[in-house]
Amino acid sequence: MANLSRADVEHVAHLARLGLTEEELARLEGQLNHILDQYTILTTLDTEHIPPTAQTIELANILREDVVQPSLTADEALANAPERSGGHLVVPAILGGGEGGA
């Protein structure tokens, strides 16, 4: 039995910026533990001779040359913006989070 606690579920919900009700948290705790249980079954398989796989498509090295292509106009870029000011997109100020350019 996977051992995801209620606190884990709340943490993951916070990271995903999901506001969940008590009821949803309880339901998701059960569902997530159930999913993890399925993976627990997979871990019993012998994968010793299988290389780690992150991609299932048979492609590699799709590169493009360093050539400039036209951009959208600023007007087109902001066409779906809920609010703009002086060519900028406007959003409510978020304090204290993020990586700020890293």
Partner 1 sequence: MTVAQAAGKSGALEKYEAVIGIEIHCQLKTVSKMFCGCSTDIDGAAPNSHCCPVCLGLPGVLPTINKAAVEFVIATGFAIEATVASTTRWDRKNYFYPDLPKGYQISQYQLPLAANGRLTFDTSDGPFTVRVNRAHLEEDTGRLIHQDLDGRRVSLIDFNRSGMPLMEIVTEPNIRTAEQARRYAEELRLLMRTIGASDAEMENGQMRVEANVSIRPIGREAFGTRVEVKNMNSMRAVERAIAFEIERQAVAIDAGESIHMETRGWDEGSQSTYHMRPKEEENDYRYFPEPDLPPLLTTPEWLAEIKARLPELPATRRTRYREAYGLSAYDAGVLVNDAAATALFEGALAAGAGVPAKLLANWVTGEYMRLAKGEGSGGSTDPAELAALVKLVAAGAISGTNAKEIFAEHFASGAKVAAIVESRGFRQISDAGALGAAIDTVLAANPAAVADYRAGTLAAIGFLVGQVMKATRGQANAAMVQTALRERLDKV
The contact set with partner 1 (CB under 8 A) reads: 15, 17, 54-55, 57, 59-74, 77-78, 85-94, 96-102
**Which of 88, 92, 90 has its CA nearest to residue 74?**
88
Instruction: Reduce the DSSP state of residue 31 to 3 states and report it.
Output: helix
Which residues have C-beta within 8 Å of that of residue 34, sequence separation ≥ 6? 2
44 or 85: CB nearest partner 1: 85
3 or 85: CB nearest partner 1: 85
45 or 93: CB nearest partner 1: 93
Please state the closest distance from residue 62 (CB atom) to partner 1, in A: 5
Please state the closest distance from residue 65 (CB atom) to partner 1, in A: 6
Please state the closest distance from residue 38 (CB atom) to partner 1, in A: 18
Which residues have C-beta within 8 Å of that of residue 94, sequence separation ≥ 6? none
Please state the closest distance from residue 45 (CB atom) to partner 1, in A: 20
42 or 68: CB nearest partner 1: 68
Cα(42)–Cα(95) distance, integer angstroms: 42
Cβ atoms of residues 35 and 4 within 8 Å:
no
